[in-house]
Structure 1
Amino acid sequence: MTRRDDGPDPAHQRPAGVDDVTVEALGSLSKALETVERARGHLYGFHQLTGTADLELDRAVRLLRAAGHDEWADRVQRDILGRNVIPGHWTFQIVEAYDRTYYEPFRGLERGAVAALAAGRQHLYEAEMKEARRTAGHPDHSACPEGPHSDGEGLPAP
């Protein structure tokens, strides 16, 4: 494979007829989705941390009983262990509802907009920003990585 240093690979070149405002709008839409991806990660963190805490309650109940505090062990087991975090929901159900109700429709809409408005080419805004900011000829500012697609092989035509 040859190393390209004359500009972004074809997958990151703006298709003919796509204007600056469209590229900026798609960049903004992608940035919003990236923020949602981070929020989703925090939601999974909430899910895992809550589950870990619930499992640790088994140990707390066992230790309270071992220490002769059966009434407290019973209260923890009855009132907190396995409790819904919001009415009718464990955290996995919140994650599933978020994915189904918000994340998946958002992700599908972003992909559809990129497909319809930019011939499926993602990150055009960032690719153009990279091109504007790199120092031509500098080895650490190359336009494309070396690898299977470094010559644009197998990518859609601009």
Structure 2
Amino acid sequence: MASSRVALILAISMVLFSSVALATDHIVGGDKGWTVDLNYTQWASETVFRVGDNLVFNYDPSRHNVFKVNGTLFQSCTFPPANEALSTGKDIIQLKTEGRKWYVCGIADHCSARQMKFVITVLPEAAPAPSPPPSSMAHSVVSSMFGVVMATMVAIGVIFA
């Protein structure tokens, strides 16, 4: 009875920890953060986004904000009501569904003239990446190591059960 409980706990742990280990925090704009005159289209094109990942917007809240918009509002740099803006300066958006997602800054002409906008395509959790960017290599190594550690834990659990 005790050995089946250990095996069940290990199996549940593997499922829960694998989801956490595979999620990635994407700092929008990298070291520069969410600011004017940065090529966010290029930044987004070099990154693979998956369901469960997080977008992290770091910025000065007295100068910028973040709106999640649709494709039409994105093209015209039109914004929803001001109370829908994210404006803490450290906003985190979890990517919960796959598909296209659009983000803009709603301050002054930051969207239309200063390129504070970008669009991404969020892939399903298990989808293969189109072509992994160089920065994803560390994530792959961590994921592989996680698999080895979990397999070792299961083997130890079975041996001592």
RCO higher in structure (CA 8 A, sep ≥6): 1
Higher helix share: 1
Structure holding more strand per residue: 2
Shared topology, TM-score over 0.5? no
**TM superposition score normalised by structure 2:** 0.29
